[in-house]
Each structure stands twice: as structure tokens, then as C-alpha cells.
């Protein structure tokens, strides 16, 4: 299995930040693909296999919840772990996301350390040598 | 209740700035810049309560925010598209934090896609919390900005 990641967020800035954060937490991650909405995400998934997806909720064209629902109905995509990265703080919505089968939830803004804690079990990776003390610097997210 | 809303607006704005972009508010004397380009970014929420938030800030602030978010080196310039995108996402996060701080975590709120536009003229910012209780006015690294909350009927 590869360790590629797909980031789905309508903000190019946020995709770029998340990409930088994933690299900064120094896990053994492969390619990082990007999509600006659910439709683009499905197109990327038809081209590439990924190990984990980081998905925003509030996006035009196809929201994160619509994407999640579509993927769970597709035998080829239903087992890809999805981590929701959103501003959402409603417990009811978070419970709904878990019922829909999300693998993790992380609320924006978050720290690189929080992202690492979510990704490690999903990727089944070990951290790279020398990464035990992450220099968080201004890497808040 | 009104003063409490101002307090929530101020707290949320300050905390998101610090946590997201490592930017901090300061205690400068109210002195909004003249001759700056200004941006107006709005987002609305709908749930058990509904309303909108509107951030008025300078283009200079938006460029600093973008540079911090993207980890750019000093001297690197941001594009207008990057600045607009950054300030829209900033407001998305501010609004998400605001609704839970103001209304709790029980209810579900749907947020709109944020919109940003450049103002043709220098805006008049409120400098009195007593007159406008749903307004937070802050200076961030010398750049004044205003966050306005409008509750729908």
C-alpha cells in the first residue's frame, strides 16, 4: 500500500498550508495530491490510489459530506480513510460524520502535532529519523 | 448580552489570528490608515440562529496573513488571488469558531462560502463599542480591522 494523501479543500491557500504541514510533521508520506471540491476529488481518485484523504466540509460544487456519502456507496472507494478538517464545532455534526464513517476529525485551526496524531495510525507509518522534536515554529494551522 | 457579543467577537478574532497565523493584536491608538486598499469579506451562518460576519481590513493585513499562512520568506510578494483566498478562509474559520462560542456546540450551523470584495473608498470604522456593540475593532501588527456581526431577525 502506498502512503499517498489527497487534500480536498476549496482554498488553495489551505491546501498549500496543509501540504506544508504534512511535510513538516515528517512522516513517511508519499505523493500529496490536491482537489478543490468533491467532484475534483473523485476525478483524482480515478487516477491515483491514496492511503488517506484530508477533506474540508464547506466547499462549493460538492461538499465534504456529499463526497463522503458518495464514496461510502462505492465499493472501490468506501474503505479509504477520510479525515475531516473543518471549522465545524457542532457535536451533532461531528457525531453525524462518525456515523457516516469518517476515520478522524480535526478542527481548524489546528497544530501540526494534532495532524500527526491523526495520521500516524491511518498511514501505519513511523516518524522519520530525527523528527521526535518537531520545530513547530509558526506552523499552526 | 450585547457587550458579551463584542467580547466573543474580539476573543475569537484574536485567538484565530494567533493560532492560525501567529499574528497578535496590539494596543495601538485608533488610527486607521488613509490611502490603503481595503477589503470587505463576509460570511453567513444558518441554524437555530442565523446571521453574518463581516471583516473590514486593509490589503496590507491580508498580504501579511497570506505570507504567514504560506510560510513565505520576507520579500516574497503575494498575489491578489492568494490574499483574497487567505482572508476568505480566515473568515470561514472565524465564523465556525464564533457560532460555537456564541451559541454552543449542540446545534448544527451551515456556513456560506465566504465572499470578498475590494472597497472603492476608505471605510469608516467604528471606534466606540458602546455605540456599536456587535463590532470588534482591533489593531493587528499596526493594521486596524473591524469585525461586524449582524444577527438576522
B77 pLDDT tier (thresholds 50, 70, 90): confident
Strands (E), chain B: 25-26, 38-46, 50-58, 110-111, 115-119, 135-140, 143-151
pLDDT, position B45:
97
CATH number at residue A24: 3.40.50.2300
Predicted ipTM of the assembly: 0.85
A71 vs B116: CA distance, rounded Å: 32
Contacts of B95 in chain A (CB under 8 A): 87
For residue range B15-26, list pLDDT tens digits in order. 999 999 999 998
How many contiguous H segments (helices) and E segments (strands) does chain B have?
A: 3, 7
The pLDDT confidence band at residue A92, using thresholds 50, 70 and 90, is very high
In this predicted structure, the answer to whether residue B10 has a pLDDT above a threshold of 50 is yes
Asked, for residue A130, whether it belongs to a domain, the answer is: no
- Mean pLDDT over residues A63-79, rounded? 95
Question: Is A89 at the interface with chain B, CB within 8 A?
Answer: yes
Shortest Cα–Cα distance, A59 to chain B (Å): 7
What total number of domains does chain A contain?
1
Interface of B with A (CB under 8 A): 16, 18-22, 66, 68-71, 81-82, 85-86, 88-89, 92-93, 95-97, 99-100, 105-109, 111, 113
For residue A101, give its domain range.
Answer: 5-123
Angstrom distance (rounded) from CA B83 to CA B87? 6
Task: Supply A26's cell numbers.
Answer: 515528517
Residues 6+ apart with CB under 8 A from A15: A7, A9, A34, A36
Compute the average pLDDT of residues B135-141: 90
Q: Which residues of B touch A17 (CB under 8 A)?
A: 69-71
d(CA A75, CA A60): 25
Q: What pTM value is reported for the model?
A: 0.89
Measured between CA atoms, how close is B82 to chain A, in angstroms?
7
* pLDDT at res. B129: 52
Q: Tell me the fold of B2-151.
A: Chemotaxis protein chec (3.40.1550)
Nearest to A27 by CA among A128, A118, A112: A128
Q: Residue B114 carries which DSSP code?
A: P
pLDDT band at B131 (very low <50, low <70, confident <90, very high): low
Give the number of other Cβ atoms within 10 Å of residue A79's Cβ: 11
Amino acid at each position: 500500500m502506498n502512503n499517498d494523501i489527497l487534500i480536498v479543500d476549496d482554498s488553495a491557500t489551505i491546501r498549500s498550508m496543509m501540504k506544508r504541514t504534512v511535510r513538516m510533521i515528517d512522516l513517511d508520506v508519499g505523493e500529496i495530491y490536491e482537489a478543490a471540491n468533491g467532484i475534483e476529488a473523485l476525478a483524482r481518485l480515478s487516477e491515483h490510489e491514496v492511503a488517506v484523504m484530508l477533506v474540508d466540509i464547506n466547499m462549493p460544487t460538492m461538499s465534504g459530506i456529499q463526497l463522503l456519502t458518495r464514496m461510502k456507496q462505492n465499493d472501490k472507494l468506501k474503505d479509504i480513510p477520510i479525515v475531516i478538517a473543518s471549522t465545524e464545532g457542532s457535536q451533532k455534526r461531528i457525531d453525524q460524520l462518525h456515523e457516516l464513517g469518517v476515520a478522524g476529525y480535526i478542527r481548524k485551526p489546528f497544530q501540526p502535532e494534532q495532524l500527526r496524531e491523526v495520521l500516524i495510525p491511518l498511514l501505519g507509518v513511523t516518524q522519520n529519523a530525527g523528527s521526535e522534536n518537531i520545530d513547530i515554529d509558526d506552523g499552526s494551522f | 448580552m450585547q457587550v458579551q457579543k463584542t467580547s466573543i467577537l474580539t476573543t475569537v478574532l484574536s485567538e484565530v489570528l494567533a493560532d492560525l497565523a501567529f499574528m497578535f493584536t496590539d494596543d495601538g491608538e485608533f488610527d486607521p490608515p488613509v490611502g490603503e486598499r481595503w477589503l470587505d469579506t463576509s460570511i453567513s451562518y444558518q441554524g437555530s440562529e442565523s446571521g453574518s460576519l463581516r471583516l473590514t481590513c486593509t490589503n496590507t493585513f491580508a498580504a501579511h496573513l497570506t505570507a504567514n499562512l504560506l510560510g513565505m520568506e520576507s520579500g516574497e510578494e503575494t498575489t491578489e488571488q492568494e490574499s483574497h483566498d487567505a482572508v476568505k478562509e480566515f473568515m470561514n474559520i472565524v465564523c465556525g469558531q464564533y457560532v460555537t462560542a456564541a451559541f454552543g456546540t449542540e446545534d448544527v450551523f451551515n456556513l456560506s462560502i465566504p465572499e470578498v470584495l475590494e472597497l472603492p473608498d476608505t471605510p469608516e470604522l467604528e471606534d466606540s463599542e458602546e455605540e456599536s456593540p456587535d463590532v470588534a475593532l482591533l489593531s493587528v501588527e499596526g493594521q486596524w480591522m473591524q469585525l461586524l456581526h449582524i444577527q438576522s431577525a
